[in-house]
Structure 1
């Protein structure tokens, strides 16, 4: 038997490192709430995952376009959101706004919202702190008749006197001023009484 040679080099075949993909770092879930599509993202949105981010945002915005609605990007579960990704989202939002689809970002990070509001490239992107707040902004108010008077609501002011031709104004409605320079006014509404 030969003696052990300490200068010999043992070559161990290197096993390939597991390949990292953007899908491992960033995942998405799409939900639909009526005519609004919610795209919930989880993980880290940075330069490595930017192509995946843009592809998923465009797919969700296209599905919102077919429904005639809006898109909410829920980023509350992101560990990191880069400014480059935020800038790409603002650019996509501007493109889809021309097609009639509004995109709103939801983040619980007030520093990120403040930073996005000061940057001219991202200032036009609507940002809210909750999905419900974003839905409220994006969903148009329902088309209803004049509100009915209730316990804490004043009845509408109307021209119910004979011979007087005037419009009906619900309490609290803003009425435009005339061309003579009068400002817009708010018709007062009854305040609830304290008991």
Structure 2
């Protein structure tokens, strides 16, 4: 011997081989340890790259594309759908809910402290897009102002208290036909 130690060659063990096949992203790196052959390293890391590319590639869904299978309906031949009373009530509830959310947002946009708004009773007239309600919010001094009647219609908020007496009464009477949780009154 010339005094130089020959490097010990490692074989890829059975568990390491299974790990490289099934989870190459984790186990292929073990072939970089001392003693593994260049062939083992190239095969392990090459398989890891192929596996990663395959895993990251977009897959085409095996589900049929239903949008392509639906044919457009000729409106001339379409019959009007018959809606049940429950569906009509649900639809009206949905519209009144949307009206309420829009009204509350519009009122909050006018307040000095929108986060302090406490909404009370609401009345809805879905056919005219009117919401009548009460709001209590903080003023500039930090105190609550008390319940104040508001009317939301056509994206605009009005306060009957700020109107002329006759106009305020007309505005309140516009809410008389609305339906809601409770009757509103002008204090």
TM-score (norm 2): 0.22
Greater helix proportion: 2
TM-score (norm 1): 0.21
